[in-house]
Copies of this chain bind each other. A is one copy, B any other.
Amino acid sequence: MNVIIAGMGTDSRERMVRSAAYLFRERGYSGTGFRDVIAHSGAPRGSIYHHFPGGKVQLAEEAVQYAGEFLNAGIQAAVEGGDAASAVDAFVGWWRGVLVKSEFRAGCPVVAVTVESHDDAPQLAKAAADAFARWQDTLATGLENAGASPDRAARLATLIVSAVEGATILCRAERDLRPLNAVVAELKELARTAVG
């Protein structure tokens, strides 16, 4: 019986966004239905188009933004006052947990949305691009502070994001952390020489 506590009446909207991001990681965008989001979040079904007039596309857009900001905050925290290697660890640590806890069923929601973005929803591609760009910016800034040149820091940041996202996919297929571990070993070595 839906007792409304202070501040709880409005978080059904946020729960939907979080659940969408969660489900996208496992089933992808097309594979996740609105009814799945409702069931997982426990949010009421009747208020979907009240909170999200733009429908599924808007929900997905906000889910991507949410995931992007969430992860960026983690990177930022780990990069501040850390060395170059911790920039890699910051980006890897999060997904290592996601992979293990989901038994290699979940990946990155931003990737999931990107690889099936349709022409009729350019907002999704833009939200994903923004998330990727922010991660790279944060990592590049950290690498610069550690001593890398701006150009090199930008290239390395792109490599880190690309390699870790790719390794996450390989881990899911292989059901093992080996690809991620191998990539981390190489990336750390590379980051160490770049700031020397």
Interface residues, chain A, with chain B CB atoms under 8 Å away:
26-31, 105, 107, 110-112, 114-119, 125, 128-129, 132-133, 154-156, 158-159, 161-167, 169-170, 172-175, 178-179, 182-183, 185-187, 190
Contact = CB atoms under 8 A, between A and B. Distances in A.
B182 A190 contact: no
Given A115-B112, A166-B161, A129 B186 contact: no
A183 B167 contact: no
From A107, A159, A185, A187, residue with most partner B Cβ within 10 Å: A159
A158 B170 contact: yes
Given A28-B28, A115-B28, A159 B173 contact: no
Contacts of A129: 173-175
A138 B112 CA distance: 27
Contacts of A133: 174
- In the complex this chain forms, how many copies of it are found? 2
Contacts of A154: 182
Contacts of A117: 172-173
A39 B172 CA distance: 31
Contact of A172 (B112, B125, B175): B125
A23 to B, nearest CB: 11
A125 B175 CA distance: 9
B28 A155 contact: no
A148 B154 CA distance: 27
A27 B116 contact: yes
B27 A173 contact: no
Contacts of A28: 28-31, 115-116
B119 A105 contact: yes
A8 B189 CA distance: 47
A18 B59 CA distance: 33
A32 to B, nearest CB: 9
A185 B151 CA distance: 12
